[in-house]
């Protein structure tokens, strides 16, 4: 197994300054991320240091050349660093503490030193989540979205301006990727979902050019694999900020609910309760918004899971688990979008 090339001196300075030295660190790979690699380090100190962490997590570029090149091209590593270095303290969302970071713009190399949130466990994208776990997740989304609503300065940041420049590239890629995705998953994903996907592909340009009814900082990939659950009454930790951007918060919300609840009937029965929980939490944070307009946008954004699955499956290293994960990522929100008649919102103008 590959080991991260982490400087012991950097660890000492980042974690405990000059008060204690590190004798050794034992690294093991954690998580299933396909954009970046994460390693847990069991830190052995030379002397008793009660406040020094016994373990940490280091994120660094993916070992896969395709995933790494994609991440550098789209500025994904820069975005995650920007979150931890500049934005995290402005939000009440629960995410790991950042001890230190560095980034080399010329090569895209980086290291991000984070709190080890063990014994919290990663959500299981394939298995799905309980309604209670989804409720806990949507509250974290509201904590993320509320403070950045209408933040023009943030929207004009160069990292997010790059997103606008990538619009035409995304349109071109989706036109290329959808037929390949459909062929790969023919027989695995229900024909009704794939037929709906054909309509989405025909109107994808319209979707890209749609003006959001409410604009804020969005996570961009808020799903179970990017959450750590510690216990029934504990808040989940939110991970993986490489895909954050400026957009409509309903995209995060619909994507999370749609991809997390495995049973379409349970999702349909509890969907309005979960969305209401999000709205109530958002309002409690002082946000002003039009619920009816956001509910319409929520119906539309149920398409997001399918679209994310198309892009992700075609852009990262192909694995057996990845194929099934992307099928699930498309299938669950596919049923959601069919139930909500999402394409009627997309095609009504």
In a domain, 1, yes or no: no
In a domain, 220, yes or no: yes
- Examine the domain organization and report whether 178 and 228 are in the same domain: yes
- Examine the domain organization and report whether 61 and 18 are in the same domain: yes
Alpha helices in the chain (DSSP H): 8-16, 65-73, 76-82, 131-145, 152-155, 158-165, 167-185, 191-202, 204-208, 249-260, 264-284, 291-301, 304-315, 320-340, 342-347
- Examine the domain organization and report whether 111 and 126 are in the same domain: no
End-of-domain residue from the set 60, 92, 115: 115
Residue 286: Cβ-neighbour burial (10 angstroms; 0-12, 13-18, 19+): exposed
In a domain, 325, yes or no: yes
Number of neighbouring beta carbons within 10 Å of residue 317: 14
Token readout for 345 is 């919102």
In a domain, 176, yes or no: yes
- Examine the domain organization and report whether 109 and 141 are in the same domain: no
Token readout for 51 is 């406040």
Number of folded domains in the chain? 2
pLDDT in single tens digits along all 349 residues of the chain? 467 889 888 998 898 766 678 889 999 998 766 678 899 999 988 876 667 888 999 999 887 777 777 788 778 899 999 999 999 999 999 999 999 999 998 888 899 999 999 899 999 988 999 999 999 999 999 999 999 999 999 999 988 886 676 788 889 999 999 999 999 999 999 999 999 999 999 999 999 998 889 999 999 999 998 999 987 778 999 999 998 999 999 999 999 999 999 999 999 999 999 999 999 999 999 999 999 999 999 999 999 999 999 998 988 778 888 888 899 889 999 999 999 999 999 998 6
| DSSP state letters, 231-279 | -TTSPPEE---TT-EEE-HHHHHHHHHHHH---HHHHHHHHHHHHHHHH
Token readout for 214 is 């409410």
Task: Give CA separation, 281 vs 216, 275, 288, in Å.
Answer: 15, 10, 12
- Examine the domain organization and report whether 89 and 230 are in the same domain: no
Tokens 């660093």 locate to 81
Alpha helices in 186-215 (DSSP H): 191-202, 204-208
- Examine the domain organization and report whether 109 and 127 are in the same domain: no
- Check residue 17 and give its pLDDT: 61
- For residue 274, the domain's CATH number is 3.90.1200
- Check residue 318 and give its pLDDT: 81
In a domain, 3, yes or no: no
Task: Give CA separation, 84 vs 100, 301, 316, in Å.
Answer: 9, 27, 24
- Examine the domain organization and report whether 111 and 127 are in the same domain: no
Bond from prior residue into 6 cis (ω within 30 degrees of 0): no
- Examine the domain organization and report whether 149 and 88 are in the same domain: no
- Examine the domain organization and report whether 97 and 148 are in the same domain: no
Task: Write down how long the chain is.
Answer: 349
End-of-domain residue from the set 55, 89, 115: 115
- Examine the domain organization and report whether 204 and 130 are in the same domain: yes
Q: Alpha-carbon distance 38 to 61, whole Å? A: 9
In a domain, 2, yes or no: no
In a domain, 282, yes or no: yes
- Examine the domain organization and report whether 191 and 59 are in the same domain: no
- For residue 75, the domain's CATH number is 3.30.200.20
CB-based contact 171:318 (threshold 8 Å): no
- Examine the domain organization and report whether 203 and 332 are in the same domain: yes
End-of-domain residue from the set 115, 147, 178: 115
- Check residue 279 and give its pLDDT: 98
* Structural domain for 243, as ranges: 121-347
CB-based contact 331:181 (threshold 8 Å): no
Q: Which of 111, 93, 336 is nearest to 226 (CA)?
A: 93
């Amino acid at each position: 197994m590959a080991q991260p090339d982490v400087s012991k001196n950097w660890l000492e300075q980042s974690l405990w300054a000059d008060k204690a030295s590190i004798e050794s660190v034992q690294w093991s790979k954690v998580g299933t991320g396909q954009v970046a690699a994460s390693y847990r380090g069991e830190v052995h100190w030379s002397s008793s240091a009660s406040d020094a962490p016994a373990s940490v997590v280091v994120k660094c570029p993916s070992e896969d050349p395709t995933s790494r090149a994609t991440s550098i091209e789209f500025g994904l590593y820069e975005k995650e660093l920007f979150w931890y270095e500049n934005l995290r303290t402005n939000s009440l969302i629960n995410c790991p503490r950042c001890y230190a970071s560095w980034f080399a713009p010329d090569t895209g190399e980086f290291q991000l030193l984070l709190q080890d949130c063990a014994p919290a466990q990663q959500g299981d994208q394939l298995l799905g989540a309980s309604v209670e776990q989804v409720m806990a997740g949507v509250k974290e989304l509201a904590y993320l979205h509320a403070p950045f609503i209408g933040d023009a300065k943030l929207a004009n940041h160069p990292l997010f301006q790059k997103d606008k420049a990538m619009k035409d590239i995304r349109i071109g890629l989706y036109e290329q990727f959808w037929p390949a995705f459909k062929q790969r998953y023919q027989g695995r994903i229900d024909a009704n979902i794939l037929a709906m996907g054909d309509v989405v592909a025909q109107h994808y340009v319209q979707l890209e050019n749609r003006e959001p009814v409410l604009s804020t900082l969005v996570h961009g990939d808020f799903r179970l694999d990017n959450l750590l659950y510690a216990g029934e009454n504990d808040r989940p930790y939110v991970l993986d900020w490489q895909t954050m951007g400026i957009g409509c918060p309903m995209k995060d919300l619909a994507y999370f609910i749609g991809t997390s609840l495995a049973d379409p009937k349970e999702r349909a029965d509890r969907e309005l309760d979960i969305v209401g929980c999000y709205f109530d939490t958002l309002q409690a944070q002082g946000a002003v918004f039009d619920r009816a307009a956001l509910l319409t946008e929520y119906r539309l954004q149920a398409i997001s899971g399918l679209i994310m699955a198309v892009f992700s499956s075609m852009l990262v290293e192909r694995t057996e688990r990845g194929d099934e994960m992307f099928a699930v990522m498309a299938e669950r929100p596919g049923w959601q979008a069919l139930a909500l008649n999402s394409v009627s919102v997309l095609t009504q103008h």
